[in-house]
Structure formats: C-alpha cells, structure tokens
Amino acid sequence: MCGITGYVGSRPAVETAIRNLKRLEYRGYDSAGVAYPAPAGVRIVKAAGKIAQLEASVQDQPMEAQVAIAHTRWATHGSPSQANAHPHPDCRGDLAVVHNGIIENYAELRARLRAAGHQFQSETDTEALAHLIEERLPEGEPTPQIFLEAVRQALREVRGSYAIAVISRFLGNAVVVARKDSPLVIGLGEAENFLASDIPAVMAYTRRVLILEDGDCALIEPDRVTISGLDGRLRTRNALHVDWDDQAAEKGGFPHFMLKEIYEEPRTVRDTLRGRLLADDRVTLPDVGFTAEQWARIRRVSIVACGTAYHAGLVGKRLLEQLLHRPVEAAVASEFRYSDPLVDPETLTLLISQSGETADTLAAMREAKRRGSPTLAIVNVVGSTLAREADAVLYTQAGPEIGVASTKAYLAQLTALTLLALYLAQNAGMPEEDRRRYVAALRALPEQIEACLSLSERIEAISAELAAMSCFFYLGRGYDYATAHEAALKLKEISYIHAEAYAAGEMKHGPLALIEPEVAVIGLCTQPATHEKMVSNLQEVKARQGTVLALLREDVPAPDTADYLIRIPATLDALSPILAMVPLQLLAYYVARQRGCPIDQPRNLAKSVTVE
C-alpha cells in the first residue's frame, strides 16, 4: 500500500520526511515523491523506482524548507511512472497533495474539472483532488483556515477512501491532513510534528501519536494540531504512547507479516468491492475495459493460475458454473501451457495472479492469446506484466503482500471472482432477487471476517495441541473441497507438516488406511446440503482414532464426534470459502509458530516464481 510521511518544525523538512518514508519501504512501492513550499508556490520532486532515486533528485534542490510531505506510491490508477507518482499539484502550483486510497468518483470529477479548464498531468485519481481543492479556493490569498475549509468542501464531494496530506503556499508552515478508511497518524514532538500513514514512520522521533479516525481533518502546525470534522466542528483525539521495538513496528505491532496481512482481510475485501457495487445492487466493473460486444461473445470460461491463485480458481470454477450454468475449466498454468488447451475466441481465459509475474501464468496467457481467446487477468500488482499484456484486467485491491504464504490476496481473488461471476450472470439475466441476495451477502463480508478474526485466541489454543501431529487431512465437499486445497497448502508451506486435501467421500477409497491418533482431520462443514454426509465422514475418521476438528457455520448442530469445533458466521454457500479460510489461515499460522518456523519466509519458497 502507498506510504505517506510529512513534517513541520525546525529540522530540514525534506530530509526528515524522506528519512521517515524509508521506514515504510518494506510495504513495497513503485515510485516516490516529495513536496515542500517554494517562494512562488510549492516545489515537487518525484522519481520512478526507489527512494534512493528520489534522494538523488532532491540533492541539488535548496532544502531550507520547514514543511514537507512525501509519498511512496503503489499503483492503483495508472501505471507506475514518474508522472503518476505523488505529490500532485493543482494547475497553478499553489498546492500539492499526497493520497492513499481510492477515489471512486474520480472519472466523473476529472471530466467535470477538465470541462472547467483544469489541466491534468497524470492518470491518477489523486490529481482530481488537487484540482478540486483549487476549484474550492476563493480568489486572492486565503488564510490557513479558509484553505482548510476548501479541503473540507472538496472532500465532501469525494466518494471512496483516502488518507491525504496537503501543503500550500497559503498554509505557511503547516500541513492539512484528512482520513476516511485509510490510516493516518500524527507523531507529536516538541515544537515539531510528524505525520504518516503508519506508526513506524514516526517512531524514530517520537513515541507519542494521535491516531486519526474516519472523517477527521487536521491542521498540523509545529506547536499545535487542530482536529475537526468535515463539518468544521472541532474534535478531540487522545495521544497514545507506543512502546513497540523497531521490528514489531514494521509489522504494525504484529509478530509476522502473515498475521498482519490476515488482519488486513476485512479491509482488503472492502477495498476490492469498492466502486463495484451500485446503490441499486447491480455489479459494475468499469475498470475492466472489455466492450459490451466482448463481454457478450463469451460462451465459456477457462481459469488458469498457480499456487494459491489456482485454489481461488477452484472456487471460481464452482461459482461461475453455479451462476452461469455453463461448464468452466480450472487448470494449473504449468499444465495448461503444455496441453492442447481448448480455448477459442468464445472462451474467456481468466488468469489469476497476485504478482502478475508468475512465469507459467504469463506463458499460459500468451498461449491463450495465440489461440484467439480473450484474456482477463485478476491481478493485484498494477502495471505487472500480466496486467499489461492481458486484454483486460480486474484488479484486486489487497495492497502489497509481503508474507510468502498468500493470505489477503486469496480473499481478494475470491471477492473479485464473485464480482465477475455476478456481473456475467447479471448480463445473462440473473433474477434480480438472487442478485440482491448475493450483493447483500458480499456487503456483509468485512464484518463477518472481523468475527472470524475474533476466533484467533481459541485457534491459537487448539494449534498448541495440534502442532505435534504428523499429518493433516482437510476434507470437504463442493465449495469446501476447494477450500480444503488452499487450507492444506497454507499449513504445509509454513509449518512443514504434510497436509493433503481430500474429497470427503473419497476417504473410504484409500486414505482412511492412514488414520491414527497423530493424524489430524479438519472437516470443513460449511455447506448445508452436504452437512450430514460430512458428519458421517468425520464419524468414520473418529472410529479409527483420528483427531477431528470440525469447521461449521454457526447455525448448524455440532457433530458429537469432533475433538475441536470452530464456528464461522453463516453466509451463502458460494461465499463460505471466503469466511472459512480466515480461521484456517490462522490455524496454519499458529501451528507454524508453535513449531518455531520462519513463517514469513518458509524454506525453499519464493513469493513470486518467475521461472518455469
């Protein structure tokens, strides 16, 4: 995710803001920039690539500024480039804005501002905000208070999420910040103040922080911070004392990136849905870029991916089949590319990838294109090779994922697949009532994921007992069988325990011979239609002294054969893989932690596999 820093006080502001920005480097970014007041307005310096490049570019600039804002960008709208890097100015160069988040109505704002004569220099959603503030400024030389009011007015017109910082020649030695659904903190110093999108970026200088809440705006001056709402009313926030060490700080206080990323899942799902569900419960995919004719030509879907993304594809296959009533294929990319894939101009080849750089997935996409198949990539990294080469892209909005074992990106992929399936079904005449049920269930997900996260302590306790098991089976039927594949992969990659996914009904055809007390069997029972069958399968395991953990919806009776129970909120069958995976990721995490494994960087594995 993008990073923001800023400084007001008597230190060299540009240097201080950039130094703090480096503490956010671990989050991943593709360009960086800084802005500070200059005699006639603001000066902006930006560079594609690493912060070191930005530092080289600012070296020859005079640096007496006592105010600066800086930014690392992880592309969401527009490719990673110097032009798209933040900060973004207004037309006159009187102000500069840095922003994290997504402005949903940016296309509309941009068109309106362009028509009013504003000149845009980038493809970003953020630049619309710079011009919108300019538009709201009265003629003449506004005072800082009037400038702040213009920012508030602009924000009232914005839909979406933001953490922003703005400097202007009208503000003097001050910065205006605001947040909604994107984090922003203020580090409090003595006659100096810091701002950042994350606590680690201010910790070198202060341990006293104010955490802004949604709807807060603040005017940050060296000796005071004034917080107000978008309505201009003053608000009070209490300062916290942060006593994390540096390593914990980088991970937002979590011991591992993997756990931090699991806790980011409610937000990931919310961000992936953002702007894609209309008020009347229709699904819109405006950024995908297929024409109506291209959408209409699709008769079949072939899903291709690797690893966790392939497992998302297994869920996607069922979901698309269920909603479209058409056969859908799902293949691992390394098999697809060397087979004689049955794709043609009427088959949509759907590539799924977090990184957008996986060699086999790229090769599969090129093979599908050679065969005349339209290609759509569900990708997390904007500007990645897959995003650039596929005919169309549906971005997941998971932000950078650092743990090698994929967690939040998987939930984002499932969310994007659900949106796509609903969009295609809606075009094919899905009954309105059914669509509304799905959309309501999608909207409920972030809170339900929070409920799953609240199981963490219980799962940790169960993990302490399961960590010594020699082998895990994950059993399920239907959607649960697809989930079982990803759950088994999570456990094996980080805990090094052998784990296998099995169709529950197949246990009797062989694997039951392996059951003994040191074998853990995780029964996934989230599908009401097959609940009783699953319970019988777990009884068969228990009768052979296997250790059974059952994962159930909260609204079904508990089987009396389970040694451990985990209950998740009820949702539609097709969405249960999203909720079920959260406790299963936590289970893998805590088992691996019990065993002292290097969770974020498991042996022999890489985050992005760019060779065959």
Could you list the residues that contact ligand G6P (CB under 6 A)? Answer: 306-309, 353-355, 358, 361, 404, 406, 605, 607-609
Tell me how far apart the terminal alpha carbons of the chain are, to the nearest angstrom.
28
Pick 56 or 606: Cβ nearer ligand G6P: 606
**How big, in percent rounded to 5, are the helix, strand and coil portions of the chain?**
40, 25, 40
Q: How far is the CB of 437 from ligand G6P (least distance, A)?
A: 30
Q: In sequence order, which residues have a C-beta less than 8 Å from that of residue 113 and are 6 or more positions away?
A: 120, 128, 131, 132, 135
Q: How far is the CB of 285 from ligand G6P (least distance, A)?
A: 20
Q: How far is the CB of 230 from ligand G6P (least distance, A)?
A: 38
Query: DSSP letter string over 457-471?
Result: HHHHHHHHHHTT-SE
Q: Is the dihedral of CA 274, 280, 283, 288 positive or negative?
A: negative
Nearest residue to 288 via CA among 210, 379, 224: 379
Residue facing ligand G6P at closest CB distance: 307
Answer for the pair 130, 86: CB distance below 8 angstroms, yes or no.
no
Taking the C-alpha atoms of residue 549 and residue 469, their distance in angstroms, rounded to an integer, is 13
Q: In sequence order, which residues have a C-beta less than 8 Å from that of residue 376 and are 6 or more positions away?
A: 288, 290, 348, 349, 350, 351, 390, 391, 392, 393, 394, 420
The β-bridge relationship of strands 175-180 and 95-100 is unpaired
Provide the CA 210 distance to its chain's centre, in angstroms. Answer: 25
Q: How far is the CB of 12 from ligand G6P (least distance, A)?
A: 40
Pick 166 or 351: Cβ nearer ligand G6P: 351
Provide the CA 522 distance to its chain's centre, in angstroms. Answer: 28
The β-bridge relationship of strands 519-525 and 471-476 is parallel
The pair of structure tokens assigned to 91 is: 């037309």
Per the DSSP assignment, residues forming a β-bridge with 70 are 5, 34
Q: In sequence order, which residues have a C-beta less than 8 Å from that of residue 119 and are 6 or more positions away?
A: 91
Residues making up the chain, counted from first to last: 612
Pick 192 or 493: Cβ nearer ligand G6P: 493
Taking the C-alpha atoms of residue 350 and residue 52, their distance in angstroms, rounded to an integer, is 37
Element (H, E) at 534: helix 531-542
Q: How far is the CB of 89 from ligand G6P (least distance, A)?
A: 35
Pick 240 or 606: Cβ nearer ligand G6P: 606
Pick 268 or 353: Cβ nearer ligand G6P: 353
Q: Is the dihedral of CA 419, 425, 428, 430 positive or negative?
A: negative
Taking the C-alpha atoms of residue 459 and residue 453, their distance in angstroms, rounded to an integer, is 10
Catalytic residue list contains 490: no
Q: In sequence order, which residues have a C-beta less than 8 Å from that of residue 459 and are 6 or more positions away?
A: 566, 583, 586, 587, 590
Pick 196 or 417: Cβ nearer ligand G6P: 417
Q: How far is the CB of 362 from ligand G6P (least distance, A)?
A: 9
Pick 219 or 312: Cβ nearer ligand G6P: 312
Q: How far is the CB of 576 from ligand G6P (least distance, A)?
A: 21
Pick 377 or 591: Cβ nearer ligand G6P: 377
Q: How far is the CB of 411 from ligand G6P (least distance, A)?
A: 13
Catalytic residue list contains 607: yes
Pick 193 or 272: Cβ nearer ligand G6P: 272
Q: How far is the CB of 353 from ligand G6P (least distance, A)?
A: 3
Residues annotated as part of the active site? 2, 607
